Chain A
C-alpha cells in the first residue's frame, strides 16, 4: 500500500512563520522542520528580507482630508463591539507530512491561527474569488433576472389584454324613438304618429 504524496516542505507556512503568525505548537513544529531543511530555511529567509524591505519603504502620500476623516472615526465600530470573541480557527499544517507518524492527516490546507490574529490564511493572492464560484453566481443572477424579465413581459401582455376603460353610455332613447318611427313608418296603419306621441309623452 502506497501512502499519498505530500508536500515535504512548509509551503505557505513559511510566510506565516516569517510574519510570526503561527500558534506556539505549529511554530515549534516549523522550527523542527527548519532545523533539517535547507530549502525551507532559505524560503523563510527570503520572506523575511521581503518584509524588511517593505518596512523600509516610505509610506505613500496621504491627502489631509482622508487623514481628517480617519481621525474622526471612533476607535472601534459598533459592529466590532457587538462581535463576540471567536474561537481560534484550527488549520492543519501542510507539513503534516513531517509530523510524527500516526497523526491523522487531512487533505485540507494546514495552518492554525492564534486567536485575535487576522491572517487571511485561506484566501488566494490578491483576494480573488475562485473562477467557478464567480461563474456560478453570474449564471444564477442571469437566470433570476431573465425569469423576472420574462414574468414582467407576460404580465404586461396580460394587463394589456384586460378590459380597457370604456366610456359610460347613456342611450338617447327619445332620439331613438324618433328614428325608429322615421324608418319603420311604412307598416300598415301607419305608426309614425305613435313615435311622436311617445316622445311627447315622455318629455312631459
Chain B
C-alpha cells in the first residue's frame, strides 16, 4: 500500500535531517511499516573513522572539538542511515555530557561512539556502558564519589534524568545509590599526569549494606542499574514510560498523552527495553502522522544547519558550523547542563533568529562567492520568473507545504527586487537567506 508524499516526508524529516524530494518520492510506493523497517536497519551505515583532528597532538582542545563537530555534522549530512545520527544525538542530549567540564574530546568521542553503537540497541546495555566510562562519571563528579565521602550527583541524575524521572525515588534511595556507585571513576594521578582511563577503584568503594528500593544488601553500581532497568519490574516499567515519553517528545511532539506514553512505553517494556522496538512503535503509531505531530516540532539549530548544508551540498569544512553553533545555542558536546537542550520555543527569540539569519547569510555568501562558490543552488535564478524561482526554492530546500503568504511573499519579493535598479547579484544569496528563514523551513 503506497504512502502519501506528505507522510513519507514527515517520517524522513523526523527520522533523519533533510530528505530530498527524490528520496521521499522513492519511498512513496511502500507502506509505512516497510519504510520504518528500512530506516531502523542500520546494517548499511557507513563505517566510522575517528575524526582526523582528534588524535593530532598539535591541536588544542578547541581544534579537536571543531574537527569532531565537523565530522559529526558531515556524517549527519551524508550518511545513508540518518536515524543512526538522530538517535546518537538523542542519547547525547539524554545523557548530556559537556566538554566544558570533561576537558577531553577523546573521552567525549569514546562516549559518542558508545551511543552510536548502541543507539538502537538495548537501553539497559547503553546505560550500563555509559555509566562505566570516564566521560559521564567525570561530568557528574563520580570520580570523587568515595566511601565515607559520597557524592550524590551521578546517583541522583541516574534516576532523575536518565531512567526514572523525578519523584520516583526517595532521598534515602539516592544516598544508597551514591554509596553503591562509590569507587567508579578513573585511574587518576599516576605520578606524572592524570590518567583518564576508566577504573573501578575497589579501595574507594563502600562495601557496607545499603537499602535501595527496599532491598538491603551490599549493592554495587551496575547492580543499581540492573535493579532499575531489569529486576524491579515496577521501576522498569516506570523507566520504559519515562524514556518513551522523551522519545515521543523529540521525534513526534512534546507532552504526549498518557495513553500514548502507556502504549509506547509498554511495548518498550515488553521488549526488555529494546530501543529499536521503541522507535518502531513510535514511527508506526497512527498519531505520529497526525497534524499535531506534523506541526509539533521545529528544527533545532543543529538540524537547521545540517539541513542547509545538505540541501546546498556544502560540507562542514566549508560551512564552518563551529563559528555559529555557539551563538545559535547548540554546540555539540556542550549541552547547557546535565538536563540537555530544550525544545521548540526554547529556540524562538530575537537572539536565536539573528543567529540563524547570520548562519544563513554566511551560507548565501559562500555559496555564491565569485572566486570560490561552494554551491550551485539557484544558479539559474536570474533566468527564472518569480513563480518558478520560488518553486525551485521550495523544492531545493525541502519545503513541501508552503503557506500561501510564504509563496506570495517570495514571489513578490523577487518581482519587487527586479523592479528596481538592476541588482541581479542580490537574488541568489538573498533567496538562500529568505527560504531558510521561512517558518516552513524552520519547522522539523
Genuine A/B complex: no
